Structure 1
Amino acid sequence: MKTKAMLELADVNAILDAAQREAEANQWAVTIAVADDSGELLGLRRLDGAAATSAMIGTRKARTAALSGKETRVFEHMINEGRTAFLSVPLEGLLEGGIPVIVDGQPIAAIGVSGVKPEQDARVARAGLAAVA
């Protein structure tokens, strides 16, 4: 039987804190979401000034990255390069800014960020990932 790693509350808070520091250092109003490997929300932080929709989008980016084990930018690029049939898959949040947390080659969680440009969302998510990597 396999055992799997999982985030504890301290890990979730470390991710949220590190991502928030990155966002605030750049004056980016974003929402940061952390999901477990099934895509269920473990933590959410909507910074002052972040749009209401960023909470929904960030959560969906985290869910998609968790379920797929891939960065959501992979899907955005795939669709932008013409594979529009991929829009029919039952996933949401197919925009850059979702980053899986991989341990021993397995996705155990994910971080989703929304509120600024796609590469900036991803930068904030990577800062959160660095807190537990």
Structure 2
Amino acid sequence: MSVTLLRPATKLTHRGALLLVAAAEEAARAMGVPQCIAVVDEGCNLVAFLRMDGARVLSIESATRKAMTAAATGKPTGGIAPDKALLLAEATSGRMTNLLGGVPLIADGQVVGGIGVGSGTGEQDLEVAQAAVAAFMRAQAP
């Protein structure tokens, strides 16, 4: 009986991260809401970031944490039960968040990263993140 010691992995490239940032920026401009946009890989490492002119400085951190949370959980942020969200924040020293605006990036059935958007309302942040993920998915289609 052979034991598999390695598993194949699909990885997000810097070009993919930049496509996400550009698509999110376009959606934010169309909305008229300057945003902070963070893209992380599957290990929650920052790959690309943009703070649009006029976006809130403190949203740099929240956008990054939204991206990390989406990548780590494989689920959009904002839907975790309040009691579990508090535990999640406590267990990660506040590095993970339940604020709307984080969406995982999934390719070939694998989580390859996450995008986090912050500086608008939670609903605006989520809309911009979803627009970027939709552009990412279209770009992957054969």
TM-score, scaled relative to structure 2? 0.84
RMSD of aligned Cα (Å): 1.5
Q: Gapped runs of 5+ residues in structure 1?
A: none
Per-residue deviation, 1:45: 0.4
User: Between Structure 1 and Structure 2, how many residues are aligned?
Assistant: 129
Percent pairwise identity = 34
Matching residue within 98, 120, 125 for 1:121: 125
Moved beyond 2 Å, runs of 4+: 82-89
Match of 1:9 in 2: 14
Could you say what secondary structure the match of 1:94 adopts? coil
TM-score, scaled relative to structure 1? 0.89
CA contact (8 A) 2:24 2:131 kept: yes
Q: Gapped runs of 5+ residues in structure 2?
A: 1-5, 138-142
Match of 2:51 in 1: 46
Residues 47-81 of structure 1: CA deviation (Å, up to 9, x unaligned):
01001001111001101111111111122xx11xx
Aligned counterparts, 1:1-133, within 5 A: 1-75=6-80, 78-79=81-82, 83=84, 85-86=86-87, 87-90=89-92, 91-133=95-137
Q: Specify the structure having the higher radius of gyration (Cα).
A: 2
